[in-house]
């Protein structure tokens, strides 16, 4: 089939990131009018024709109203489908509800599947996201689901700014061990693991035990997401108790809900490195370093548009 023109349409959740992506693709954001009716319903009107074009709808699922961000993206996708777009890709730098990828107990939903189903029903032919919380989410979509990883951006920054000869990569829990091993492999470092204990009475999870040697070393705690900051701050405190010389945190998705930034400011962290898949809160923190994923996303969009291998961008390391 004849290739259509590349069109990037942005929602209102993270316009700065969308503009950077469009600039790197040597194009402008497709004009779209987004507004809300008095009762909160989202109204969408595409400013120009997308008939026969390849459309990429970029919307990160950010708070404070994450549900509106997701619905807004679905509405834009539906508008593009009804306007006869050739193909529609839903680009979600941060996919909402990704933590709810399975049933933890009886009578619970699998909400990550529901989010994917909504995008599919709206008309998305493809979904693209950065650092999914769990690999099985890709199987929720009956079509191409492109998984991008922020690790190359983060590893490049670490190599350029820190001496890794005395560094230990730390997993904050058992679920992040594989990701930690990949960071350790690329940085040629040892690893350590923090074991979390769940109290049977309160069901509260606490970082309790450390496996590995961190005394006198620079520690890098790796996690895909920092929400309230409780778990990763507790992990930093354990490392400090065991004699870590410097402590850094790394995350792809800086959710930073509630008093997370205040908690990090008062913590044992020297710095926390986060990418901009989500807009940073208005509250500033001297300990937060932000890295742009716009080059990563623009390269991925270009590869999809031109029919090239997405895995080649990440040397095949974007699989779980």
Q: Helices marked H in 177-274 — which ranges?
A: 177-187, 230-241, 260-265
**Residue found by looking up tokens 């402008």 in the block:** 28
Helix (H, G, I), strand (E, B) or coil at 151: helix
How far apart CA 148 and CA 142 sit, in angstroms, is 18
How far apart CA 32 and CA 10 sit, in angstroms, is 8
**Residue found by looking up tokens 């650092």 in the block:** 131
**Which member of 81, 196, 245, 287 is catalytic?**
196
How far apart CA 142 and CA 138 sit, in angstroms, is 9
Contact criterion met (CB below 8 Å) for 229 and 200:
no
- Determine whether 204 is an active site residue: no
**Nearest Cα to 178, choosing from 191, 187, 167, 189?**
191
Decide: residue 203, CB within 10 A, 0-12 exposed, 13-18 middle, 19+ buried. Answer: exposed
Contact criterion met (CB below 8 Å) for 8 and 19:
no
Distances in whole angstroms, Cα of residue 105 to Cα of each of 87, 100, 109, 204, 320: 38, 12, 9, 16, 24
How far apart CA 301 and CA 22 sit, in angstroms, is 10
How far apart CA 263 and CA 268 sit, in angstroms, is 10
- What would the DSSP string read from start to end of 224-244? EEESSSHHHHHHHHHHHHTT-
Q: Name the residues annotated as catalytic.
A: 196
């Amino acid at each position: 089939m004849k290739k259509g023109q590349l069109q990037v349409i942005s929602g209102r959740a993270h316009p700065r990131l969308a503009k950077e992506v469009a600039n790197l693709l040597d194009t402008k954001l497709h004009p779209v009018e987004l507004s809300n009716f008095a009762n909160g319903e989202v109204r969408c009107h595409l400013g120009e024709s997308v008939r026969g074009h390849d459309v990429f709808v970029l919307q990160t699922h950010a708070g404070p109203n994450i549900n509106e961000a997701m619905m807004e993206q679905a509405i834009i996708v539906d508008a593009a489908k009804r306007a006869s777009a050739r193909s529609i890709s839903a680009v979600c730098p941060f996919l909402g509800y990704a933590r709810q990828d399975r049933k933890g107990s009886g009578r619970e939903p699998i909400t990550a599947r529901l989010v994917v189903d909504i995008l599919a029903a709206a008309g998305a032919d493809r979904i693209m996201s950065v650092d999914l919380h769990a690999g099985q989410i890709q199987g929720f979509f009956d079509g191409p689901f492109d998984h991008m990883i922020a690790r190359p951006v983060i590893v490049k920054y670490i190599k350029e700014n820190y001496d890794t000869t005395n560094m230990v990569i730390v997993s904050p829990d058992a679920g992040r061990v594989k990701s930690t091993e990949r960071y350790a492999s690329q940085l040629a470092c040892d690893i350590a693991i923090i074991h979390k204990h769940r109290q049977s009475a309160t069901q509260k999870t606490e970082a309790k035990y450390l496996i590995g040697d961190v005394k006198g070393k620079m520690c890098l705690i790796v996690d895909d997401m920092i929400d309230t900051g409780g778990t990763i701050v507790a992990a930093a405190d354990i490392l400090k108790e065991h004699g870590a010389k410097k402590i850094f945190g790394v995350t792809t998705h800086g959710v930073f809900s509630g008093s997370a930034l205040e908690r990090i400011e008062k913590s044992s962290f020297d710095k926390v490195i986060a990418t901009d898949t989500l807009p940073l809160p208005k509250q500033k923190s001297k300990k937060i370093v932000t890295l742009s994923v716009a080059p990563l996303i623009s390269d991925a969009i270009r590869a999809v548009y031109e029919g090239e291998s997405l895995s080649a961008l990440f040397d095949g390391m974007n699989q779980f």
